[in-house]
């Protein structure tokens, strides 16, 4: 990274200015700004950031979104709300340095041409390469949304020499990208602790905690769960780290007592090293234990049709969006006692928390919900209340605006 370690003198001046007057509105004149939002998955711009992008445009800013895939539906929706879209080369997974250099130089070239006032990347590779590209160009307003530090910081990554070496490299890249940041948002205590532990931030800057991406409470309206069944739903990328195998194994146990129970899985296949294969999904379907629902652009009908939502993840989550949508719909949540997941559940009130990878505990929690439909309904009402008080997307976006020193 020696080619990108040089940072313009303007940045040092900016750091001193920011530390002296970070709370002063007078230092941040509210004029039209060019804002670059950088993602590693094109669809996420609509799934996770649509309301934020709308709010930025409504506030009078020129918003440009960068992401790697061509997605006609997403690009059309972005255009309708006034957001420009630019494709960039980016491999979401993998450690090919040539591919990552292509990402860095593409972002740097676009930033040099478009001259954004604010750069807002989220997820690991956008944070690193958009952050470094913006630093080398002297872009002062660099705001980072750490939705999760990445798989390499999870327990599942292991403690092998290879994992340690990759983690060390990632820490150095994060330090380089985040140096002199305006603000770094985080979703949970574990990410905040690792940022501090690995000294990823310099100077007096501390992470700013927000409650995930938030959920649109109007779009995800409350509904009363159906009687009968029960029907359990898991929504996730098809990764082992998400707990798919544990979900299936727990389903086998629950089925012994509740032969009419249904166990549904909704999500797309992934290129991640821990991906579940189509052959495994098909085998579980033939066994009759799992209903694989494929993928969808609208999860609401599936949430409305289930009695409980299950996410037995041991992935390094930020705060899972799928759980937030289940909360808003009014469903009890069964998830693991791990960062991000446990932040969405008040145990015994709106759901149940179990130890990660503990199939017996997961089956017991699912059985509790199956045995007590009235309790499940009450938990669902508590879930909706929690969504309203803590995870409203408009409340989250106000926090983001405050952190970026923007006003509506």
pLDDT > 90 in the chain, percent? 82
Q: How many CB atoms lie within 10 A of CB 399?
A: 15
Res 92: pLDDT: 79
Res 228: pLDDT: 81
Residue 3: pLDDT over 50? no
Res 156: pLDDT: 63
Res 169: pLDDT: 93
Alpha-carbon span 35 to 405, nearest angstrom? 13
Residue 6: pLDDT over 50? no
Helices 359-371/244-257 angle, 10° precision: 50
Per-domain boundaries in the chain: 32-214+393-403, 231-390
Q: Which fold has domain 32-214+393-403?
A: Rossmann fold (3.40.50)
Q: pLDDT band at residue 17, thresholds of 50, 70 and 90?
A: very low
Report, as an integer, the average pLDDT of 67-83: 97
Res 369: pLDDT: 97
Q: Which residue has 């690991």 as its token pair? A: 124
Alpha-carbon span 99 to 149, nearest angstrom? 20
Q: Which residues, 6 or more positions from 177, have their beta carbon under 8 angstroms from its beta carbon?
A: 127, 128, 129, 130, 131, 132, 135, 144
Res 157: pLDDT: 66
Alpha-carbon span 90 to 51, nearest angstrom? 24
Tens of pLDDT, residue by residue over 253-281, are 999 999 999 999 999 998 777 899 999 99
φ, ψ dihedrals at 262, nearest 5°: -115, 140
Res 15: pLDDT: 36
Q: Which residues pair with 347 in a beta bridge?
A: 351
pLDDT > 70 in the chain, percent? 92
Residue-averaged pLDDT of the chain:
91
As a CATH number, domain 231-390 is 3.40.50.2000
Res 200: pLDDT: 96
Residue 163: pLDDT over 90? no
Q: Tell me the two tokens of residue 337.
A: 């006692």
Tens of pLDDT, residue by residue over 224-255, are 999 888 999 999 999 999 999 999 999 999 99
Tens of pLDDT, residue by residue over 84-142, are 999 999 997 777 889 999 999 999 999 999 999 999 999 999 999 999 999 999 999 99
Residue 25: pLDDT over 50? no
C-beta of residue 199 within 8 angstroms of C-beta of residue 178? no
Q: pLDDT band at residue 312, thresholds of 50, 70 and 90?
A: very high
Report, as an integer, the average pLDDT of 288-298: 96
Residue 160: pLDDT over 50? yes
Res 30: pLDDT: 63
pTM: 0.87
Q: Tell me the two tokens of residue 309.
A: 């939502």
Report, as an integer, the average pLDDT of 341-365: 97
Residue 5: pLDDT over 50? no
Q: Which residue has the higher pLDDT, 151 or 394?
A: 394
Res 12: pLDDT: 39
19-28, 94-103, 207-216: which has the highest mean pLDDT?
207-216
Point out the least confidently predicted range of 2-6, 142-146, 322-326, 344-348.
Answer: 2-6
Q: pLDDT band at residue 203, thresholds of 50, 70 and 90?
A: confident
CATH fold match for the domains 32-214+393-403 and 231-390: yes
Report, as an integer, the average pLDDT of 342-363: 97
Res 27: pLDDT: 43
Alpha-carbon span 267 to 263, nearest angstrom? 13
């Amino acid at each position: 990274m020696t080619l990108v370690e040089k940072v313009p003198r303007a940045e040092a001046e900016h750091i001193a200015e920011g530390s002296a007057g970070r709370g002063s509105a007078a230092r941040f004149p509210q004029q039209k700004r060019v804002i670059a939002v950088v993602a590693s998955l094109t669809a996420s711009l609509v799934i996770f950031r649509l309301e934020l992008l709308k709010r930025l445009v409504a506030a009078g800013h020129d918003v440009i979104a960068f992401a790697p895939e061509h997605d006609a539906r997403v690009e059309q929706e972005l255009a309708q709300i006034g957001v420009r879209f630019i494709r960039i080369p980016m491999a979401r997974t993998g450690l090919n340095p040539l591919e990552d250099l292509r990402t860095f130089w593409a972002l740097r070239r676009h930033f040099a041409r478009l001259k954004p006032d604010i750069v807002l990347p989220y997820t690991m590779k956008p944070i690193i390469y958009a952050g470094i590209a913006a630093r080398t160009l002297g872009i002062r307003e660099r705001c980072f949304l750490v939705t999760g530090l990445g798989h390499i910081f999870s327990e599942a990554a292991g403690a092998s020499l290879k994992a340690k070496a990759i983690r060390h490299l990632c820490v150095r890249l994060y330090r380089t990208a985040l140096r002199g940041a305006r603000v770094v948002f985080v979703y949970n205590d574990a990410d905040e602790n690792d940022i501090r532990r690995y000294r990823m931030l310099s100077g007096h800057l501390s992470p700013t905690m927000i409650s995930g991406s938030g959920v649109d409470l109007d779009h995800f309206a409350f509904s009363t769960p159906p009687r009968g069944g029960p029907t359990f739903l898991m929504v996730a990328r098809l990764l082992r780290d998400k707990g798919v195998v544990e979900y299936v194994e727990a389903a086998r146990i629950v089925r012994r007592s509740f032969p009419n129970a249904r166990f549904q899985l909704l999500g797309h296949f992934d290129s991640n090293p821990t991906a579940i294969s189509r052959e495994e999904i098909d085998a579980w379907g033939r066994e009759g234990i799992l209903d694989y629902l494929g993928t969808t652009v609208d999860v609401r009908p599936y949430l409305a049709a289930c009695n409980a939502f299950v996410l037995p993840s041991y992935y390094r989550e930020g705060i899972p969006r799928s759980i937030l949508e289940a909360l808003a719909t009014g469903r009890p949540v069964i998830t693991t006692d791990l960062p991000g997941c446990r932040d969405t559940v008040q145990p015994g009130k709106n759901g149940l928390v179990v130890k990660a990878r503990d199939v017996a505990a997961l089956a017991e929690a699912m059985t509790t919900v199956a045995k007590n439909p009235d309790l499940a309904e009450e938990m669902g009402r508590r879930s909706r209340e929690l969504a309203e008080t803590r995870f409203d997307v408009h409340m989250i976006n106000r926090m983001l605006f405050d952190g970026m020193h923007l006003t509506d």
